Amino acid sequence: MRGIPDDMLAALSKAEVSMLWRVFETVCIEYDIPRDGEQIQHLARFLMSEFRRPLDEEALLVAAEAFYRHHDGKYAKSA
């Protein structure tokens, strides 16, 4: 997952990495987030910081969507 250091991912179980990946991909697809650059790294860092709290997958997805909507103007594509 771009933006998340490999050593951080290595410390997680396969189930945890899979859950993070599903949330990451869902938000990227839903908000058409490019897979490179500052925006994707910011999302990945947010997911890792939120993941440290006890959240289930649905709560993590809701938090990530709220985070993206809050920061959407910062990353808005220029027309």
Confidence of residue 75 (pLDDT cuts 50, 70, 90): low
Ordered DSSP codes for 5-70: -HHHHHTS-HHHHHHHHHHHHHHHHHTT--SSSHHHHHHHHHHHHHHTS---HHHHHHHHHHHHHH
Tell me the pLDDT tens digit for each residue of 13-51. 888 889 889 999 999 999 888 888 888 888 888 888 887
> Looking at residue 4, what is its pLDDT?
63
> Looking at residue 74, what is its pLDDT?
64
What global pTM score does this model have? Answer: 0.64
